[in-house]
Amino acid sequence: MSRYLLRQLSLLLVTLWLLTLLAFGLGHWFSGDFITNTSGIFPEDIRFADVAEARAAGADVFSQYSAYLSHLFRGDWGVSLLDGEPVFEQIALRFGATLEIALLAFILALLPGVPLGVIAALYFRKTIDHTILTLSLSGYSIPVFWFAQIAILVIAIHWGLVPISGQINPLYEITPRSGSIILDIFLEQPEHMGAALHSAFAHMVLPICILAIMPMMLIIRLMRNSMLDVLGQNFITSGYAKGLSTARVLWNHALPNAMQQVMRQLGTLISLLITNTMIIEVIFSWPGLGSWLVRSIYERDYPVIQGGLLVISALILLITIALNIFHAWRYPQVRKDLYAAS
Amino acid sequence: MLLDIRNLTIAKDTPTGRVNVLERVNLQINEAEIHTLVGESGSGKSLIARAIMGFLSSSWHIQADRLWFEEQDLLNLSAKQRREIIGVDVAMIFQDAKSYLDPNLTIGEQLQEAVLDQDLSGGFWNRRKQRKERVIQLLHRVGIKDHSAMIESYPHELSEGAAQKIMIASAIAHRPKLLIADEPTSTMEPATRQQIYRLLAQFHARHGMSILLISQDLGAIMKETERLTMIYSGQIMESGSTRELLDAPHHPYTEALLNTSLYQQAQRPPRSRLPTLAGTEPSMQHLPIGCRLGPRCAYARPKCVQTPDFTKKRDRGFACHYPLHLEDDA
């Protein structure tokens, strides 16, 4: 296991290093001045001379890269070309908002997704199975932005059940600290905390539900297939031969083994979820990383693009590796598959 | 009579119509008897075992005059009632034992599952401990001395022989009256096979457990086997006590099998032709009518297109119109 951990860790470090190389390279490849692209300071600016010196302008690429790295580690990721806001602070503030809806959507996708997949597998090729499959296929194939707009039109505007966009009613005057609105409410301790929380949840419901649809449909299909696969395995038969009840065979043997196969796919699922989160953030004006990054791409705000690329790739990378490690820790025979020896 | 099967027919629907995969199978197993069922692969041996255990899905059509276990008709029981009987009194071990162990649970956890609640005493607080003790006991009984390492092991870390021992330990946890062993040793080397057979024979001798051994090799059966049943292509050819059946087979199929055994070959002059049955086993789509051995049988006559009845003579049973080695006492 320790060897496996080391390998995963080195994979993480090497990939992160490659990412910094890419981000650094982007500074050169983007049109315009390298110093402006990475620091966000225009040549007309008073500070430009200092910044250019600190970032080793005019020197060779290696000293530029090392200067870039030292800035990166110090948390000096430059400022936005548009509004002069420091990139790192903005990321820290928006990261929480993105993670909040992505995480909640993921949980919302897992909770019904897993049991529905199991049910579909247990009623293989019966009406229930067909119904679930049809629903999941249609849910999977409808684009998320279309879904979101229809939901806003019907649920938020026509029925008026929930607010259209934003994180919370601005009347509550919650200062963003962590980015996650629920956490911020608890940090702020406003006068009408219950009402503030209620407003925050009302704003959250629609984006989270829409975000959850696609991963849920995928989980249903993955779960159904892996459950079908596991139910045909010999150790299920021997479970029955031991005299175990159907419930115990399912719970002790079928489900954990089926989850193992689903777990392998969760990494790809999460990167899909993050991409969808960015779209949803734009539609619902959710002040997260996604909407900010989309805007910056639109406006060619290079320091922001660089920072956002770094953070989102690092996030997906971290999640994937964390999942790998959890998978190997939870399922011992995987470690054997990886080395062909214990 | 522990297990009494009369005229068991199992059919499956195929695109070309319903096929009787098993046809009017008769099988009787007494208390404390080792019974071996011999047949080629695809002859339906495992199907009989699965029908007894109730593992067959609804796509199989099962019909029988009798499928009795201890005077109880298994076919008339609900799935739950059936599992209560089968789960406790009948156990089964399989070929390729490793795949019958859950890859994600330790051996200890899997064996604990097999321990019956009724074997434990006291409150729930010391049940865990009792279960563990019982697992260690079971491991010792199948000849695994290093129990602590075994309990922590995962199935992929075991050899095929060790995995089969674990399956046996899990099977005997219930003290079953009947153990069905479906080719338990076919993937093992002879030395390991003898170990497993010795274990099974021990439990048979000590606890009076009946064993239904399923084998495809007449040369690799337990020497303690008291009765043999020969099955070919879903029909029972012959059954009887081991000694008599091997000494004087009534059925041409048994004789043909015996003729190809190593012992018989040694008796023959060198370079002589091995007497085998002509042709190959029929596929399920092209089953011959009547006696399914008919097209390959050296003694076949026109009457063989009618399925011969399963005739009982003293302790023997056979399904052949023209039995061999039979003193004419009619």
State the smallest CA–CA distance between residue B235 and chain A in angstroms: 26
**Contact, A121 vs A220, CB < 8 A?**
no
Q: What is the pLDDT of residue B330?
A: 44
Closest CA to A54 of A46, A45, A63: A63
A293: left (phi over 0), alpha (psi -120 to 50) or beta: alpha
B143-179 pLDDT, tens per residue?
888 888 899 888 888 888 889 889 989 988 888 899 9
Interval A161-179: pLDDT, tens: 999 888 888 888 888 888 8
Rg (CA), chain B: 21
CA distance to partner chain B, nearest, from residue A249 (Å): 10
| Residues sharing a CB contact under 8 Å with residue A111, sequence separation 6 or more, in sequence order | none
Average pLDDT, rounded, for chain A? 89
- From the list A242, A245, A260, the residue facing B170 with the nearest CB is A242
Is the distance from CB of B69 to CB of B52 less than 8 angstroms? Answer: yes
What is the reported pLDDT for A338?
A: 58
pLDDT of the residue at B88: 84
Question: For residues A161 and B281, which has the higher predicted lDDT (pLDDT)?
Answer: A161
Cβ–Cβ below 8 Å for B83 and A257: no
Residue in A244, A256, A342 closest to B113 by CB = A244
Q: Which residues of A touch B92 (CB under 8 A)?
A: 238, 241
Q: Does A237 touch chain B (CB under 8 A)?
A: yes
Could you tell me the two tokens for B217?
């090799």
pLDDT tens digit string along A7-43? Answer: 889 999 999 999 999 989 988 888 888 888 888 888 8
Strands B227-232 and B34-38: parallel
pTM attached to this predicted model: 0.82
Q: Is the pLDDT of residue B122 over 80?
A: no
pLDDT at B227 exceeding the cut of 70:
yes
CATH pick for A87-300 out of 3.40.50.1970, 3.40.630.10, 3.30.360.10, 1.10.3720.10:
1.10.3720.10
B104 touches chain A (CB under 8 A): yes
Q: Dihedral (C-alpha) B11, B97, A238, B52: value to the nearest 10 degrees?
A: 40
Could you tell me if A327 lies within 8 Å of chain B, comparing CB atoms? no
Query: Amino acid identity, residue B72?
Result: Q
Per-residue pLDDT, A212: 94
Contacts of A237 in chain B (CB under 8 A): 55, 94, 100
Q: By the CB < 8 Å criterion, does A138 face chain B?
A: no
Our CA-based measurement puts residue B175 at a distance from the nearest CA of chain A, in whole angstroms, of 12
Substitution target from A124, A234, A331 for chain B, most B beta carbons within 10 A: A234
Query: Which value does ipTM take for this structure?
Result: 0.80
Higher pLDDT, A275 or B270: A275
In angstroms, the separation between the Cα of residue B297 and the nearest Cα of chain A is 37
Q: What is the pLDDT of residues A245-279, one digit of tens each?
A: 889 999 999 999 999 889 888 888 988 999 999 99
Q: What is the pLDDT of residues A78-93, one digit of tens each?
A: 899 888 889 999 998 8
Q: Which residues of B touch A253 (CB under 8 A)?
A: 102, 105
Check if the beta carbon of residue A179 is closer than 8 Å to that of residue A92: yes
Q: State the nearest Cα–Cα gap between A242 and chain B, in angstroms.
A: 6
Domain annotation for chain B: domains and CATH numbers: 3-101+158-265 (3.40.50.300)
